[in-house]
Amino acid sequence: MPETSPVSSPDRSVLLDHVSIRFGNFTAVDNANLKINSGEFFSFLGPSGCGKTTLLRCISGFSEPTEGRVLIGAKDMKGVGPNKRPTALIFQHLALFPLMSVADNIAFPLEVRGVGKKMRRKRAEDLLDMIALPGIGDKKVSELSGGQKQRVAIARALAVEPDILLLDEPLSALDLKLRQHMRTELRAIQQQVGVTFIYITHDQGEALTMSDRVAVMSKGVIEQVGAPDQIYNRPRSSFVASFVGENNALKGIVKVQSEDMAALETPMGTFEARVGGGRKYKPGDEALLFVRPEQLVPGKAENAFQATLSRQEFEGATNHVFARAGDTDLRISMVNGGLAGSVGSTGDTMSLGFAPMNATILPVGQIASEA
């Protein structure tokens, strides 16, 4: 091969091939089957206890699947221990050494591997540049802010040049402002290093803003995998529709389906909407219609109905309006158009409607708030 040929970039993909993980009779992860692409920022999103950490431990080699295989870079990882895998893991609670200097913390995994002092120092300095904290190598970890510690933990995980970085809710200990700031930082670091990031969170805002793709999990089952906008706009199950973002759910009976549109008879009226997840219904089937608060529009003629205004919450740019129609409580959000945007007062009747394309009919199933 000629010397000038470019070095081919490593295969940093992860394949979960029908992975199930059981503890006794309890199934913590049920038949996870998906591929995470090389260089992707991929998130697993789901409520507490749905099996996220269990799955991550299995990718990192701290446990083995009960059934199925984990392949990293197309290689079967069966029997390959955590130290032998091209992965690094950042835990929910980062374990930095508080009395060691920042540089020694970052270089610690290299010291364990027998890398010489000069090389370690150089690598630590390069990584500090990358996380935008140049020159702080001699500070003690105890002297850093929460966000700085977070970045140092990422630098330390990247010190050994993993192909895959596994992050288990790494921002959960930070306050809201810092968490939001760190989203942008994490995404920037990921794009710079080109390492595959597998990120675990129960915070949908984090998952949607940072990720190329998201897997939504509930009770060990991966309900849907897709780009953030697909997950939000094209949910395939009632759990995904209700867990990701706010949603109104109306129960009803399918009257008729024509390709990907159907009419649903609800106590509030008969409404037309898109059929989610390529399902087929027969007349008389029970189903749920999901319509997001921002899709309920006052005065709209399509899918029109009457509701009574219960209360309003002013939140700067948005007005959150709560209304009741029959025995259904609805959430409506309206962009605040200044004083002219007032929708009325408690007890007023409102005419509302929504476009059929902006609502989704899904099979009756688990609603996230009831989980």
Ligand X SMILES: Nc1ncnc2c1ncn2[C@@H]1O[C@H](COP(=O)(O)OP(=O)(O)OP(=O)(O)O)[C@@H](O)[C@H]1O
Which positions lie near ligand X, rule CB under 6 A?
A: 23, 26, 28, 46, 48-54, 202
Nearer to ligand X, 10 or 49 (CB): 49
Residue whose C-alpha is closest to residue 106's, from 151, 166, 172: 151
Q: How far is the CB of 48 from Mg ion (least distance, A)?
A: 7
Q: Is 53 in the site for Mg ion (CB under 5 A)?
A: yes
Nearer to ligand X, 53 or 148 (CB): 53
Distance CA 43, CA 18 (A): 18
Distance CA 201, CA 171 (A): 9
Residue 202's binding partner among ligand X, Mg ion, none (Cβ under 5 to 8 angstroms by kind) is: ligand X
DSSP labels for 91-127? -SS----TTSBHHHHHHHHHHHTT--HHHHHHHHHHH
Residue 51's binding partner among Mg ion, ligand X, none (Cβ under 5 to 8 angstroms by kind) is: ligand X
Residue whose C-alpha is closest to residue 315's, from 335, 344, 298: 335
Residue whose C-alpha is closest to residue 63's, from 48, 53, 50, 73: 53
Q: How far is the CB of 53 from Mg ion (least distance, A)?
A: 3
Q: Which stretch binds Mg ion (CB under 5 A): 18-26, 50-58, 101-109, 130-138?
A: 50-58
Nearer to Mg ion, 53 or 224 (CB): 53
Extract the tokens encoding 119.
């090389």
Q: How far is the CB of 52 from Mg ion (least distance, A)?
A: 5
Residue 245's binding partner among ligand X, Mg ion, none (Cβ under 5 to 8 angstroms by kind) is: none
Distance CA 234, CA 243 (A): 13
Q: How far is the CB of 167 from ligand X (least distance, A)?
A: 12
What single letter denotes the amino acid at residue 86? P
Q: Is 224 in the site for Mg ion (CB under 5 A)?
A: no
Distance CA 172, CA 174 (A): 6
Nearer to Mg ion, 43 or 53 (CB): 53
Q: Which stretch binds Mg ion (CB under 5 A): 6-14, 47-55, 264-272, 346-354?
A: 47-55
φ/ψ of 126, rounded to 5, equals -60, -40
Binding site for Mg ion (CB under 5 A): 53
